[in-house]
Amino acid sequence: MKTLLASLTVILGFTYASEGRAKIKEAVRETRNGNVGVAPVYGLIYPRLLNTDGTFSSFSGTQYGPQITLRLTGDDETPGLTLFGQYLLGTAKETNQDTTLSRNELSFGVAGNIVPSLYGYFSYGQHSVKVSKFGYTDTMLVGRVLGIGSGLDLFSLGSSLTVNVQAWYKTGIFKKNENTDLTSNSAYESFEFFLTLRWSPTLTFTFSQ
């Protein structure tokens, strides 16, 4: 009898130990896109520049540069806020004229999404513009620029890359007292359309159950 009880005790001990090890090993692994992203930006720009006679000169060209994002709230499936910074370089030709507009922009802003993959953007920063025409002295302008835009994540490539499109409207004032090449204040506005490829390193979380 004693031998039988000892055997049952050993069997029960092994059973509980095995169940305990199984519970310890049981875990949930979840993979999410990271909160930090880097994206090359490339697209079309259609800027307009106010002339001294009150008319606008219209240009068209391309623009490119890096965009860095930092997600503050939300995740891949829920709404949230994202901070971003971008440095853009662009060149555009005046319509039916031999005039070139070159610009660079450093701006920072915030993006928010109410539904997954659809974003609204707001940015503020500084840009410089150079207007060049053969036979004339270049005009150099510096000022602040404000931007509003929207964006859409189209699809993902693997677990870390996302293809995104953005549409922007930007505007700003070039002040006479800040630009020696001006005899009066000038204005700038631009419609911009970008394609981006955002890289966000994936993070893997393990939760024990």
Contact call for residues 132 and 100 (beta carbons, < 8 A):
yes
Sequence spans of domains, the chain: 30-208
Contact call for residues 113 and 81 (beta carbons, < 8 A):
no
Give the pLDDT band (50/70/90) at residue 14: very low
The rounded distance, in Å, linking the Cα atoms of 144 and 174 is 8
119 membership: H or E segment, kind and range: strand 118-133
Residue pLDDT, tens place only, 26-75:
555 555 556 899 999 999 999 999 988 889 999 999 999 999 999 998 87
Residue pLDDT, tens place only, 81-90:
999 999 999 9
| pTM of the predicted model as reported, rounded to 2 decimal places | 0.78
The rounded distance, in Å, linking the Cα atoms of 130 and 104 is 9
DSSP 143-189: EEEEEEEEEEEEEEETTTEEEEEEEEEEEEEE-GGG-TT-SS-EEEE
CATH topology of domain 30-208: Porin (2.40.160)
Residue 87's CB is within 10 A of a number of other CB atoms, namely 15
pLDDT for residue 21 = 47
